[in-house]
Structure 1
């Protein structure tokens, strides 16, 4: 447990004055992380899982695990707002590594024990990759759901990514984020621009099953123009995006198996029809890291975490080692 220390200069003054509705821990650098607990009581849990939310989301993210399964297996969930999101303080020194260290401090202060499971969703997966790199000794098992692929990873072959339009979109987004953040903020908050509801219906980003999901979930509340006009919201999203897609302090393809005795496992879950993260890249990553168990949803897009039955399959694979035949790829992993 970190001792009481004075507030460092890089924590905004207003961050100390926010009356948070959710419980929070105080990190070693003086920042606070907000969290919520779900599932069975921690004292009765057989499995303790930290959930890492994606871009524009929060600790209120949905993970549709059946209550019967949660009770049967004894699963405790810890969800938290990543730095700058929701009720957590921003981190001006945020890095890929700091994301993993935040998770470790969260686990320690809430007394999860020496090992815990981590499930990262979408952009939250860069924090999860960082856990495999920086705190592998704390992990009981890992699942990455539609994980972000950073086109700056050195080991990605050029022939696999050179014609990927998503790479070009990210490239232009990074240029604006780096050299013209003020212009970018002005652009995304103009009233004459399409709202996120239009983006949500855009087949460029989502397949038909995703768009059905978007009819019944709240969507991306932090990506509305009203929210983006708030400086702290824009800065959080801006920094999160840059961190995910600029060079990291490691290349995931150089990682070693955190469970060399195969006592636990690492999983990637990917939609075959995902238009945000292409399945070809996930197959390549899992082929380069044969200790990763790769699962593919045949008709799945980017929002597979909201599909009926998928969260149960994720938990059964991660905790019990059960492979659902529907999600086993019907073509072999191919290294280009």
Structure 2
């Protein structure tokens, strides 16, 4: 099953439809494989903090940058195309069956991979991930009128939707880029998660990991962020009933970025779902429960 024998994380580029996709291969090269989908914004480095735990647990973690993130070529994409990329990457690495895991904005991509991958996906995990906003009651309440206008381009003009989203959110996107380039103390980490995830942001190693993930994910600018919002903000293109793999859902009850109502709704829609809620935790649950999540997905 494994094509990797070297110790330590390995990185390489895979060519898919003429695009270069940067792949990271970490943990135990002979271990049970998990294909990981990063957040919005994020990168293949998202769960690098857990490399040692993965090796110890006998788990192989394969992650990759979506188009326009990190070191992957920019391109238009949707949930299905990223799922197809993941399946192709797994094939190229000699991996037949695997678990899929998405954190935050990566959650919808993990679910899509389970839907399109069929029996190749043994289990799927979502940590603080969105439910389909167009389907979940109240799912679009947080959308601004400008965001609604951007998504009105779908499904016919996804490129127009991505451009409209970028224009509507120039201020927020510029703040993200400014945090990447100018905030040497990474104070944005405290602003975003200081109240909901204090034990995580107080850990120097995890704080460095968060900074590294953002720096790498936004090295090409905010294009990937815009396409993520297009991919999961509009119609998903598949039904949750098509996700036949067992699903594990993890949510912090204090999460202000993706409220736990998303997890409760997903748990009610997915054919096989187990929901775990963490009291007094927010959006950074994988940084406290990584070993637990790996065990559940590879059991």
Normalised by the shorter chain, which TM-score bucket? 0.7 to 0.9
Aligned counterpart for 2:112 among listed residues 126, 130, 134: 130
RMSD of Structure 2 on Structure 1 (CA): 3.2
The alpha carbon displacement at 1:122 in A equals 0.7
Partners in 1 of 2:54 and 2:239 — Cα distance?
A: 35
| Structure 1: gaps of 5 or more residues | 1-20, 260-264, 321-336
Rounded Cα–Cα distance in structure 2 between residues aligned with 1:184 and 1:69: 37
Q: How does 1:89-238 map to 2 (within 5 A)?
A: 89-92=73-76, 94-113=77-96, 115-153=97-135, 156-158=136-138, 161=139, 164=141, 167-169=142-144, 172-173=146-147, 175=149, 179=164, 181-182=166-167, 184-185=169-170, 188-189=173-174, 199-202=188-191, 206=193, 208-215=195-202, 216=204, 217-218=207-208, 219=210, 232-238=220-226
Query: What is aligned with 2:229?
Result: 241
1:137 counterpart SS class = helix
Structure (1 or 2) with the greater helix fraction: 2
Unaligned runs of 5+ in 2: 1-9, 151-161
**2:66 touches 2:224 (CA, 8 Å); kept in 1?**
no
Q: Within 2, Cα distance between the matches of 1:269 and 1:186?
A: 31
Corresponding position: 1:38 with 2:26: yes
Structure 2 contact 42–214 (Cα < 8 Å) conserved = no
Check 1:190–1:213 CA distance in 2 against 1; reply closer, same or farther (3 A cut): closer
Matched position secondary structure for 1:143: strand
Q: Give the alignment's TM-score, normalised by structure 1.
A: 0.70
CA gap of 1:86–1:66, structure 2 versus 1, over 3 A, is closer
Corresponding residue SS for 1:281: helix
- State the structure with more CA Rg: 1
Higher-RCO chain (CA-CA 8 Å, sequence separation at least 6): 2
Matching of residue 25 in structure 1 with residue 14 in structure 2: yes
User: Is 1:270 the equivalent of 2:251?
Assistant: yes
- Once the two structures are TM-superposed, the CA of residue 207 in structure 1 deviates from its matched residue by 6.0
Secondary structure, counterpart of 2:222 in structure 1: helix
Structure 1: how far apart are the matches of 2:226 and 2:165?
11
